[in-house]
Amino acid sequence: MKLYDTALAVNPRRVRIFLAEKGMDVPRVEVDLANLIHHGVEFTALNPMQRTPVLVLDDGSVIAESVAICRYFEELQPEPNLLGEGALGKARVEMWQRRVEFQLLLPAMNAFRHSHPGMKKREIPQIPEFAEANKPKAVEFLRFLDGELGNRTFIAGENFSIADITAFVATDFLKPARIAIPSDLIHLHDWYARVSARPSAVP
Ligand SMILES: N[C@@H](CCC(=O)N[C@@H](CS)C(=O)NCC(=O)O)C(=O)O
């Protein structure tokens, strides 16, 4: 098994944190996005979407998309559970995972990709106005999340889950995206401190 990974990129980091939480170690191949290695013939054959992460199994099967890769690992090693338990638990984690992905990670990525000079060759067309339009959307969701986190320890309930992983990497990504986190979001700041204290937060 081989994980095509990018050390400085947000989505591959989700998979690295997931693996660290599981205590799993998978051989990695670093893909240099800055030098457009993912646009080359070899990588494009693996993932025509030209994105990392990508997991290649020993029989040559390919899985792209961070959450799909995480689901594969959850099946291989169910504990500790990160995708929810039982019908309701799984649905809750999925609900929050999708909310965080669409309402926080995506606006943060759009803000970055449509404003950073280094992204000009990869985000075509790059639209700086679109970057600006995404910033308040991310902040609005942070405020919503702050209200929710007043009632529980983690995003989908009392257990740490993939929704926390996505929200954590998205929150760290707000800095390069030039989105400031309002200081009055006390519950959000407390949650961030809890998650960043976990050993898995390092990769
Ligand atoms: N939905 C995909 C997104 C993957 C993605 O956007 N990866 C970024 C790195 S964070 C990438 O490979 N970007 C290359 C590019 O934009 O050219 C996932 O969750 O895996």
Judge if the beta carbon of residue 20 lies within 6 A of ligand 1: no
- Mean pLDDT computed over every residue of the chain: 97
Ligand 1 contacts CB of residue 10 (under 6 A) = yes
pLDDT, position 202? 84
Please tell me the pTM assigned to this model.
Answer: 0.97
Q: Which residues pair with 5 in a beta bridge?
A: 30
**Range 169-186 average pLDDT:** 97
pLDDT digits (tens, 9 = 90+) for 110-146: 999 999 999 998 899 999 999 999 999 999 999 999 9
From 52, 63, 106, 116, mutation site for ligand 1 pocket: most ligand atoms within 8 A of C-beta: 52
86 CA distance to ligand 1 centroid (A)?
A: 30
For residue 111, give the nearest of 93, 129, 99, 124 by alpha carbon. 129
Mean pLDDT, rounded, for 153-180: 97
Please determine, for residue 172, whether its predicted confidence score (pLDDT) is greater than 70.
Answer: yes
Give the model confidence (pLDDT) of 69-119 as tens digits.
Answer: 999 999 999 999 999 999 999 999 999 999 999 999 999 999 999 999 999
Q: Which long-range contacts (CB under 8 A, 24 or more apart) does 89-96 make?
A: 89/157, 92/156, 92/157, 93/156, 93/161, 93/162, 93/163, 95/156, 96/155, 96/156, 96/161, 96/163
| 9 Cβ inside 6 Å of ligand 1 | yes
Going by alpha carbons, the residue nearest to atom 13 of ligand 1 is 51
Q: Residue 31 has what pLDDT?
A: 97
pLDDT at residue 58 greater than cutoff 90: yes
% residues pLDDT > 90 (the chain): 96
Atom number in ligand 1 closest to CA 33:
14
- From ligand 1's centre to the CA of 50, what distance in Å? 8
pLDDT at 203 over 80: no
Pull the structure tokens for residue 46.
Answer: 């693996």
